[in-house]
Amino acid sequence: MTLSPARRRIATGAIFLGTFMAALSNSIITVALPSIQHDLDIPLSALQWVMGVMAMSLSALMLSSGPISDRYGRKRVWLAGVAIFATGAMVAALAQSLLGLLIGTGIIGAGGALAIPGALSLLTQLYPAQAERTRIIGLWSTFVTGSLVIGPLVGGLLTEAYGWQAVFLFLLPIAGTAFALGVFTLPESANPEAAASDIPGQILSVLLLASLSFALISTGQRNGTAAGTAGGVAVLTFAAFLWIELRAPRPALPVDLLRQPTFAVASTMSFLLGLCGYSTTFLYSLLLQKGLGLGPSATGIALLPYFVAMVVTSVNFGRLTRRFGLHDTMTAGYAVLALGQGGMALIGPDTPQAVLTALFVVSGLGLGLAVPAAGAAGMAAAPRARTGAVSSCINTLRQAGLTIGIGLLGSLLSLGAGSNTDHSGYVSGFTLAILISSLLCASGVALLLLTRAHVSQTQQRKDST
């Protein structure tokens, strides 16, 4: 189906707005966590569940969303995701207890699991030419980072003025606008013949990611029994999942693509993006509020240089990719991110604000390149008929990294703080957690450098055909 330029622009806007909504939920909620703790009278350890349940729901359901989109229609499934997301935001806003809030954030995650990977799949269908698609994905990433810019600031202002419930209500008109635009402008597309029909694998993927997420979050709360039980379930489920995926004619996980080095590298970098990129926002909020004693609005302002720097590099992503190539641009992004986080490990209670701001800027510049690069690298290796499954795979890996990052880095923060619960304890815990994150990010840089020659040869063969 050929769309008029005007309709394609509006359809693209709907996709961007839906992604903006989903990405905004993460950054806007993070700043409200201390107020949620106070109003619901819950221990600090329970705050990990507020973000963890949403990440767990996202990662557990996202792998199944791609094959569902390919089979039943990418537009239809994306619209369902936006509607489910809005429902979850309303439930969370009306919550009067931790359980109600967790149900709401879980529903938000389920909606995001359909909407986030669906965005990349829809954009790939709207823009089949790789050069144009790369430019659009760069702009799409700008909208993602734009939500991160305004999220902490708006979240802090809304929380101080109207309470934490307002951050969830703020998401509703955005979801409504994205849904309305998408209904009338998005074209429907489906490839049921290429969609995975691996129902046992999809069910096991949900159980695997949910049990792994539960084990990691329980570890962060030092609940050894729950963590051990869930971890055992995760190991057994993983073994069963691999057994089925290696034998299924159309597996939920694109095992055949993972055998291709270029896609395997892109998938690994997507995982690391969640593990040592997205999850650190949670750490930054705790550092600023619990470690340095800032309020919600001041925290949003302090994070502004970090997210603005992300926008600067993501806006220029297409230009940088054309000049230096996708692989080298991605390598630079992860290297700068590792450098910035390594500097963060030197922060202390008396660190000047100018130094803290400079480190946020460096980290933001790196993440602003890493986000679109990881997505573009994965989609560049994808056959067009399987964009839904591939998009959900790379997004699942990123969200799985985020879930693991929340559990791992949260546990490291608690370990570093020890029994010291004052400001200095949080700073000590942050130092340990961000140092490990920096080292993990640096391991990704090493992988990209080792595979540079192979990726370049693969791209040259692809361009010549």
Mean pLDDT across 406-428: 77
pLDDT digits (tens, 9 = 90+) for 334-393: 999 999 999 999 988 888 989 999 999 999 999 989 988 888 888 777 666 666 667 767
Report the amino acid identity of residue 2: T
- Say if residue 41 is exposed, middle or buried (CB neighbours under 10 Å; 0-12, 13-18, 19+): exposed
Contact 429, 414 (CB under 8 A): yes
pTM: 0.78
Rounded to whole angstroms, the Cα distance separating 344 from 414 reads: 17
Report the amino acid identity of residue 58: L
SS3 94: coil
CA distances from 234 to 238, 253, 254, 409, 412 (A): 6, 17, 20, 20, 21
State the DSSP code for 125.
H
User: Which range among 41-55, 238-252, 307-321 shows the weakest confidence by mean pLDDT?
Assistant: 41-55
Residues 210, 78, single domain; the answer is: no
Residues 108, 214, single domain; the answer is: no
| Token pair belonging to 84 | 């489910």
Q: Is residue 305 part of a domain?
A: yes
Mean pLDDT across 264-286: 88
Rounded to whole angstroms, the Cα distance separating 403 from 121 reads: 23
Parent domain of 387: 5-182+250-464
pLDDT digits (tens, 9 = 90+) for 207-225: 887 787 778 767 766 677 8
Among 46-60, 118-132, 342-356, the range with the most confident prediction by mean pLDDT is 342-356
CA distances from 343 to 301, 311, 346, 351, 355 (A): 20, 21, 6, 12, 9
Q: Is residue 189 part of a domain?
A: no
Residues 127, 236, single domain; the answer is: no
Residues 460, 379, single domain; the answer is: yes
Q: Is residue 97 part of a domain?
A: yes
Q: Residue 400 belongs to a domain with what CATH number? A: 1.20.1250.20
- Going by C-alpha positions, the residue among 235, 266, 283, 285 that lies closest to residue 402 is 283
Q: Is residue 193 part of a domain?
A: no
Residues 226, 334, single domain; the answer is: no
Residues 88, 229, single domain; the answer is: no
Which DSSP string do the residues of 362-401 spell out, in sequence order?
A: HHHHHHHHHHHHHHHHHHHTS-GGGHHHHHHHHHHHHHHH
Residues 397, 424, single domain; the answer is: yes
Residues 374, 355, single domain; the answer is: yes
Q: Is residue 404 part of a domain?
A: yes
Residue 461 pLDDT more than 90?
no
Residue 73 pLDDT more than 90?
no
Residues 228, 271, single domain; the answer is: no
Rounded to whole angstroms, the Cα distance separating 375 from 386 reads: 15
Q: Tell me, what's the pLDDT at 91?
A: 96
Q: Is residue 44 part of a domain?
A: yes
Residues 74, 172, single domain; the answer is: yes
Rounded to whole angstroms, the Cα distance separating 365 from 387 reads: 28
Q: Say how many domains are in the chain.
A: 2
State the DSSP code for 3.
P
pLDDT, the chain, mean: 83
Residues 54, 128, single domain; the answer is: yes
pLDDT digits (tens, 9 = 90+) for 422-455: 777 788 889 999 999 999 999 999 999 988 876 6
As a whole number of angstroms, the longest Cα–Cα distance in the chain is: 63
Range list of H helices, 73-198: 74-93, 98-126, 130-162, 165-169, 171-185
CA distances from 227 to 231, 248, 256, 300 (A): 6, 30, 32, 33
Give one word for 41, left, alpha or beta, with left for phi > 0 and alpha for psi -120 to 50.
left
Contact 69, 123 (CB under 8 A): no
Scan for tokens 């329970």, then name that residue. Answer: 46
- Say if residue 92 is exposed, middle or buried (CB neighbours under 10 Å; 0-12, 13-18, 19+): buried
Q: Is residue 282 part of a domain?
A: yes
Residues 244, 255, single domain; the answer is: no
Residue 403 pLDDT more than 80?
no
Q: Is residue 241 part of a domain?
A: yes
SS3 223: coil
